[in-house]
Amino acid sequence: MKKQFRITFLSILLICGAVSTVSADYFWSENCQRAYAEAIRLDFESATKLCNQEKKERPENLLPIYIESQIDFLKSFIDEDKKQLEGIKARNSERIDLLQKHKGNSPYQRLCIAEMYLQLAIARMRFEEFIVAAYDVRKAYKLLEENQKEYPDFKQNLRGLGLIHAAVGTIPKNYQWIANMLGLSGSIKQGLGELKLLLNACYRNSELHYLKDETIVMLTFLELNLGKEKDNDVIRKRFYPVKDIHQRPILLFAKSIFHFAAAENDSVIDLLSRRPAETKVQPLHYLNFMEANARLFTMDFTAEKYYLKYLQNYRGTTYVKSARQKLAWIRLLKGDMAGYKNYISKCTIAAKGKTLPTKTKPLSKNLKVVKYLIPSY
């Protein structure tokens, strides 16, 4: 892994040498479009190869650096890997320094740097590093605001701004001084409105198609968790144009979450049971946990297989104790008291994994909403 990191840094340094004599640019070449699409599809190997190919063919193009940060972020977020988080801290710092050296006229200049800060902030939130993450959000917000003033028709600004405005809107009034201190403002309504504008633009403008999947996911999560007057029919219709959803893991995840929220348990089982058995893309382990829950809710004890698969393959701690608790219930319902005691003993505070859900304080509850937004911010 360390050798791979050194190769990545060497590639960036080579680009630095190249752009010193060739003007830097942000160009959505065919390689970059395909690389970004593969990254969102969680095929990180293919995305990385395409980025490397673009660097060789167009060393002046800075977009591969941004796409590589997206790959790093998604890996860290999905796996909840502490080592990968540390890697993001180092690599994004170098990437930001590199991009800041180029003072071009492209609106992507501030956008890419801002989104790298935002990626880093959400990765930090995943590990409850809230204080440092807040300052990363502030840096991203200021850059996006400046970009919006200078390039008001650049719709890509709306992704980061929409997320930040909606997140700020979740903070209770008695904690708004924190947002004010950081220079942040916004509301849930404002954030949702901006993301809806972006999604509409994605359908009208082919240059924005690459943002469509992510925007649908973000809107789904925000409306389900934050929208006071969410319209299930509107959310459901957003998935109608989606093709090959089983090949698009983050959309599959979002649609499954929607069916859960709409109390459509059978739809969750039908949707997730048709996933490909084997794939070369990064596995989204939480889908196993979701399918297990859906099956258990119908008293289908084959749920046990999916809980075990989640525990065996997931390297993080989120919902680990919840999965063990559900396994204990299944053992109890089967009359296996020894199995029940074994699993329930692993749900204690001393056991590995996060504790089972308890009543959460208002501020941490709202920060937690931001923590689990994927992908990309």
Query: pLDDT tens across 101-150, in order?
Result: 887 789 999 999 999 999 889 888 877 888 899 999 999 999 999 999 99
What pLDDT, on a 0 to 100 scale, did the predictor assign at position 349? 64
What pLDDT, on a 0 to 100 scale, did the predictor assign at position 233? 92
> Does 1 score more than 60 pLDDT?
no
- Model confidence at 350, pLDDT cuts 50, 70, 90, reads low
> Whole-angstrom Cα distance, residue 157 to residue 252?
25
Nearest of 106, 208, 115 to residue 151 by alpha carbon: 106
Given a contact cutoff of 8 angstroms between Cβ atoms, the answer to whether 2 and 21 are in contact is no
Q: Which of 45-59, 63-77, 108-122, 168-182 shows the lowest per-residue confidence on average (mean pLDDT)? A: 168-182
Q: How many CB atoms lie within 10 A of CB 337?
A: 10
Percent share of the chain, pLDDT over 90? 64
User: pLDDT (tens digit, 9 = 90+) per residue, 209-218?
Assistant: 999 999 999 9
Given a contact cutoff of 8 angstroms between Cβ atoms, the answer to whether 184 and 141 are in contact is yes
> Does 358 score more than 60 pLDDT?
no
Mean pLDDT over residues 168-194, rounded? 91
User: pLDDT (tens digit, 9 = 90+) per residue, 246-302?
Assistant: 989 999 999 999 999 999 999 999 999 998 876 778 889 999 999 999 999 999 999
> Does 16 score more than 60 pLDDT?
no
> Does 89 score more than 90 pLDDT?
no
What pLDDT, on a 0 to 100 scale, did the predictor assign at position 12? 34
Mean pLDDT over residues 24-43, rounded? 93
Mean pLDDT over residues 171-197, rounded? 91
- Model confidence at 315, pLDDT cuts 50, 70, 90, reads confident
- Give me the residue label for tokens 């590093």: 129
Spans of all domains in the chain: 1-154
Provide the token pair at 128.
Answer: 């409850």
Residue type, 183: G
Mean pLDDT for all residues in the chain: 85
Residue type, 293: N
- Model confidence at 90, pLDDT cuts 50, 70, 90, reads confident
What pLDDT, on a 0 to 100 scale, did the predictor assign at position 8? 38
Mean pLDDT over residues 312-316, rounded? 89
Q: What CATH architecture does domain 1-154 belong to?
A: Alpha Horseshoe (1.25)
